[in-house]
Chain A
Amino acid sequence: MTALLLETFVYLLAAVVAVPLAKRLGLGSVLGYLVAGVVIGPVLGLVGSEESVTIQHYAEFGVVMMLFLVGLELEPAMLWRMRARLLGLGGLQVSTAAAAFTAIGLQLGLDWRTALVVGLLLSLSSTAIVLQTFSEKGLTRADGARSAFSVLLFQDIAVIPMLALIPLLAIPELTVLDAGGHADAGHHELSLVSGLSGWLYALVVIAAIAVVVIGGHYLSRPLFHIIAETRLREAFTAAALMLVIGIAELMLLVGLSPALGTFLAGVVLANSEFRHELESVIDPFKGLLLGLFFITVGAGVQFPVLAENAMLVAGLTAGVILIKAGLLFALAMLFRIRRADGWLFALSLAQAGEFGFVLISYAAQNSVLPPELVPLLSVVVALSMFLTPLLFIAFERLVHPRYEGGDSAREADTIESRGPVIIAGVGRFGQVVNRMLRANDIATVVLDRNPQQIENMRQVGMTTWYGDAARPDLLHAAGVGEASLFVVAIDDQEQALEMVRYLKQHHPQLRVLARAYDRGHLYALREAGADWVVSETYHSALETAKHALRGLDYHPFRAEKLTAAFDRAEMRGRDALYEAWLGKSDGERFGRDFRTLYMELEEALAGSMSADRADRHDHGERGWTPPPRAYAEDYAEDYAEDYAEDLAGER
């Protein structure tokens, strides 16, 4: 136990030291984790015991969680829209890269089966590194990154048939050789499917996937609903983790990739109202475990192998990266991914990936890879991953500046690429705002913490997400970074204030619209930095007052004008009162001075409504006043002469 804790401590310490350092140096967190791993592993020898293997298992879970989150971001409809790139680009990338590496393997004199496995495992790229780096560098929306994402998704799915294929490639001589060596390989997995015949196995696999899809769709929502009603955050966290771990285990039991299973579950839940809450709950675990995963990759670099075959390893790694980048670049041309995006696409996917490790050990167990190749391949895969952050840096420093101002990574803020409007609180107030925006085809992300409210909204076809919008991590998951506008329409006055403060502090560019409960709240929101504040009852009360005037037989347009005049005077007075309010401390804000000023303004308001046009004071209702009765006398017959003078004066 102490050993495990100690190792965990070492891992965390390495992360805490290395990541901020790497970020400060502009290298990105992934490289930081990898270096930290190298330092505590091969260099200092602090880790590498039994416990390391345990930690490594946990760390691999980071990849599983990442794919769950990736799935959550992908609605089925979006996946369908991506199908051309997913199959075309992804399929071509995997097949051409696999074919190229297989051919090279054959040239180097490998058995065809071994060459095929090597080709397949090197065709895969690192989803973990690439996606993490995209989001860290704010490239997620670039065309090159989206294309890369399609390819990564295809690869993650392609791993499944690869895993199925490998046992069929077993080389008889190696099987004999290894008969004793892998006796211990059996202990590691509990399996439901060992010993099943082919079609039964297929049936079990289909059943397991059906459980994930159907269960995710029909069972998880009522469950989350009940848990959300309890308002216990940790219960929700537990449920979310339970879901992810449960699915991963189910997939392992039937011999499928847990990453694929959780990815599917994510896609199924992408349309549910709990999507953003799930994201915000799982995200910290994913971040931590993925970090650990990178550290274990760094720690796993086998320096003796590297040292003995330095030239060979360097040559192979360079070969892998160059060939993959070359093929990717050709694909980018073929699919019209242009300019900086094409470079981004080619450079980002040029490494081998974490699934490479999985395939290496699986192929070795199944006697497809000769044992002496295993450490060598592992080092090449690790090294290529290690170099990826450097390729990203090359992209940022060398490629991107050349296309600056072009149509690459960051598009202009046109209507199509404009981020959604986030509306926090969708009760009586937020609902109207949301309906108006939706009616104009403006994308909105709507958050509420009342499950009943969400249920009602969803029943009338409004997409609403469950979550406490006052929590920064949820705002983050809802995409506050990309939002074009934020509407704070929640009931709770204090939380509304905090939300505005948080938003303006962390996203100063984001425009924030806020709903105020009363005058004091309105001033406080304004002080907190809200760009536009509206009193929740003011406009409806004013409308009622206007109808009261009409009820008293005022001409409708006169009532309209008086309302406009009142509104203008009120807005002006509001500014004056705000200044007075700002100058006071909390206790005396609505004190005597404020009241005096308020009374004065009320009088001025009444004055401006009743004053007659002719006294030349600047007041509200002055429009359309006719000239004095005798005004025509101003214009004697010599007016024409006046005009002639004006003309002459000008010349």
Chain B
Amino acid sequence: MAPRRLLVLFAHPSLERSEINRHRLAVARDCAEATVVDLYAEYPDYRIDIAAEQERLRAHDVLMFLFPLYWYSTPALLKEWQDLVLEYGFAYGSEGRALAGKYFIAACSAGGPASAYGAEGFNHYSLRELLRPLEQTARLCHMLPLPPFALFGARTAVEENRLDPHLAEFRALLEALGNNTLDGWPSSDVGTANELLGEPAGEVQP
């Protein structure tokens, strides 16, 4: 099988403060199969070019949102992107089949520790549950949503030496998305895609 073409939409409104995502961005840019778009760099004035974005979607097989979690959702520009680009008649509706059969994955970093994301934790829901709107959006667009890829406890990951193992994991994810069969990934009910790579996400010390 020819490698799948990856479209990584990166959204971070203050990259100069980033500790995690700028490194993930660099890893993604290193990946030969991936087209990486820094949305805030491309549309600093929020004036998204809908036609160009739709063209880009057509040319790829996997769509990844790469972002820090903001209030259990994407940063504003990435939401704006959804509102504008996923048009009726293009992404959904009786004739909107442009995205049918493409994979979708959200790769985010979360401030709270893994233990906070669950019925017992202070966030009350698992990350996968909180990201259901994205999953359902993808589904309505006839895409195949994969479980989210996550880094928990992102604010202390550098100090606790968890960044490098995470980046290695991220590299493995990109590799899998580009080349593996992904059998069973869309229907999997695991909490995060990290588990499908064989490594549990969270604050496991290397």
B70 contacts partner chain A, Cβ-Cβ < 8 Å = no
Q: Do residues B101 and A646 form an inter-chain contact, with CB atoms below 8 A?
A: yes
Q: How far is the CB of A100 from chain B (nearest CB, A)?
A: 53
- Among A564, A616, A634, contact of B94 (Cβ-Cβ < 8 Å): A634
User: Whole-angstrom distance between the alpha carbons of A346 and B182 in the complex?
Assistant: 64
Q: Are B88 and A631 in contact (CB under 8 A)?
A: yes
Q: Mark A611-651, 1 if CB is under 8 A from B, else 0.
A: 00000101000111111100100100000001100110111
Select A642's contact among B83, B89, B142, B186, beta carbons within 8 Å.
B142
Known contacts A628-B88, A647-B144; A623 and B183 CB within 8 A of each other: no
Chain A residues contacting B186 (CB-CB under 8 Å) are 647, 650
In the assembled complex, A521 has its CB within 8 A of some CB on chain B: no
Determine if A568 is an interface residue (Cβ-Cβ < 8 Å).
yes
Query: In the complex, what residue of chain A is closest to B95 when comparing beta carbons?
Result: A634
Could you tell me the distance between the alpha carbons of A627 and B141 in the complex, rounded to whole angstroms? Answer: 14
Instruction: Please provide the chain B residues from 103 to 139 with a CB less than 8 Å away from any CB of chain A in the complex.
Output: 139
> Which residues of B have CB within 8 Å of A650?
101, 144, 182, 186
Contact yes or no, A623 B50, CB < 8 A: yes
Are A627 and B93 interface neighbours, CB within 8 A?
yes
Q: Which residue of B lies closest to A642 (CB)?
A: B142
Do A643 and B139 touch (CB < 8 A)?
Answer: yes
Contact yes or no, A647 B88, CB < 8 A: no
The bracket for how many chain A residues form the interface is 20 to 34
> Complex: how many Å from CA A649 to CA B143?
12
Q: Contact: B93 with A634, CB < 8 Å?
A: yes
In residues 204-222 of chain A, which contact B (Cβ within 8 Å)?
Answer: none
B25 contacts the other chain (Cβ, under 8 Å)?
no
Q: What residues on B are CB-neighbors of A564 within 8 Å?
A: 45, 47
Q: Give Cα distance in the complex from A649 to B102, angstroms.
A: 11
What's the nearest-Cβ distance from chain A to residue B44, in Å?
Answer: 13
Closest to A651 in B: B183
In the assembled complex, how far is the CB of residue A626 from the closest CB belonging to chain B, in whole angstroms?
8
Distance in Å from the Cβ of A539 to the closest Cβ of chain B? Answer: 12
B183: chain A residues within 8 A (beta carbon) = 651
Q: Does B163 contact A (CB under 8 A)?
A: no
Give the chain B neighbours of A651 by CB distance below 8 A: 183
Partner of A623, one of B48, B139, B144, B187: B48
Range, interface on chain B: 20 to 34
**CB–CB A623/B84 < 8 A:** yes
B1 within 8 A of A: no
Q: Which residue of B lies closest to A567 (CB)?
A: B47
B39 in the interface (beta carbon within 8 A) = no
Q: Which residues of the partner chain B approach A631 to less than 8 Å between Cβ atoms? A: 88, 93
What is the minimal beta-carbon distance from A214 to any residue of chain B, in angstroms?
Answer: 47
- Contact present for A622 and B47 (CB under 8 Å): no
Chain A residues near B101 (CB-CB < 8 A): 646, 649-650
User: Using Cβ atoms and an 8 Å threshold, which residues of chain A touch B84?
Assistant: 623-624
For the complex formed, measure the closest distance between the CB of A546 and the CB atoms of chain B, giving whole angstroms: 13
CB distance from A648 to the nearest CB of B (A): 10
Please report the C-alpha to C-alpha distance between residue A649 and residue B97 in the assembled complex, in whole angstroms: 15
- Does residue B100 face the partner (Cβ distance < 8 Å to A)? yes
Which A447-469 residues have C-beta < 8 A from chain B? none
Beyond A646-B142, A650-B101, whether A568 also contacts B47 by CB under 8 A is yes
Contact between A624 and B83, CB atoms less than 8 A apart:
yes
How many angstroms between the C-alpha atoms of A651 and B184 in the bound complex? 8
The reply to whether B50 and A647 contact each other, CB–CB distance below 8 Å, is no
A611 CB to nearest chain B CB (Å): 14
Per the bound structure, the CA–CA distance linking A567 and B92 in Å amounts to: 29
B120 to chain A, nearest CB (A): 32
| Residue numbers in B under 8 Å from A622 (CB-CB) | 50
Q: Which residues of B contact A642 (CB under 8 A)?
A: 142
Q: Which residue in chain A gives the minimum CB-CB distance to B88?
A: A627
Q: A535 to B196, alpha carbons, bound, how many Å?
A: 55
Question: Bound state CA distance, A642 and B47, in angstroms?
Answer: 34
**Closest approach, in angstroms, between the C-beta of B143 and any C-beta of chain A?**
8
List, in ascending order, chain A residues with CB within 8 A of B204's CB. none
Chain B residues, CB < 8 A from A618: 51
Flag if A616 contacts B144 (CB, 8 Å). Answer: no
Q: How distant is A628 from chain B, measured CB to nearest CB, in Å?
A: 7
A355-B45 Cα distance, complex, nearest whole Å: 62
Distance in angstroms from B14 CB to nearest chain A CB is 15
Residue of A nearest to B100 (CB): A646
Using known A-B contacts A623-B84, A634-B94, A646-B142, determine if residue A616 contacts B89 with beta carbons closer than 8 Å.
yes
Which residues of B lie under 8 Å from residue A616 when comparing CB positions?
89
Closest CB in chain B relative to A565 CB, distance in Å: 9
Of all chain A residues, which has the CB nearest B94? Answer: A634
Provide the bound-state CA to CA distance between A650 and B142, in Å.
12
Task: Annotate B40-57 by CB proximity to A: 1 below 8 A, 0 otherwise.
Answer: 000001011011000000
Contacts of B51 in A (CB 8 A): 618
Q: How far is the CB of B55 from chain A (nearest CB, A)?
A: 11
The smallest beta-carbon distance between A299 and chain B, in angstroms, is 60
Distance (whole angstroms) from the CB of A340 to the closest CB of chain B: 30
Nearest residue, chain A, Cβ from B83: A624
> For chain B residues 63-79, which have a beta carbon within 8 Å of chain A?
none
Q: How far is the CA of A209 from the CA of B47 in the complex (A)?
A: 63
Contacts of A647 in B (CB 8 A): 144, 186-187
Which A residue sits closest to B48, measured CB to CB?
A623
In the complex, A623→B144 CA distance in Å?
25
Complexed CA–CA distance, A564 and B47 (Å): 7
- In whole angstroms, what is the CA distance A651 to B187 when docked? 11
Q: Which residue on A lies nearest to B139, using beta carbons?
A: A643
Chain A residues whose C-beta falls within 8 Å of the C-beta of B144 in the assembled complex: 646-647, 650
Closest to B49 in A: A568
Assembly CA distance A639 to B186 (angstroms): 17
Q: Specify which of B47, B94, B142 lies most central, judged by the most chain A CB atoms within 10 Å of its CB.
A: B47
- Nearest-neighbor residue (CB-CB) of B182 within chain A: A650
CA distance A622 to B83 in the complex (A): 11
Q: B96: nearest residue on chain A (CB-CB)?
A: A634
Could you tell me which residues of chain A, from 560 to 590, have a CB within 8 Å of some CB in chain B? 564, 567-568
Lowest 5 A-B CB distances belong to which pairs? A627-B88, A634-B94, A623-B84, A564-B47, A618-B51
Q: What are 20 of the A-B contact pairs (CB < 8 Å)? A: A567-B47, A568-B47, A616-B89, A618-B51, A623-B48, A623-B50, A623-B83, A624-B84, A625-B87, A627-B88, A627-B92, A628-B88, A631-B88, A634-B92, A634-B93, A634-B94, A646-B100, A646-B142, A649-B101, A650-B144
Known: A627-B92, A646-B100. 9 other contacts (CB 8 A): A564-B47, A623-B48, A624-B83, A625-B88, A627-B93, A631-B88, A646-B142, A646-B144, A647-B186
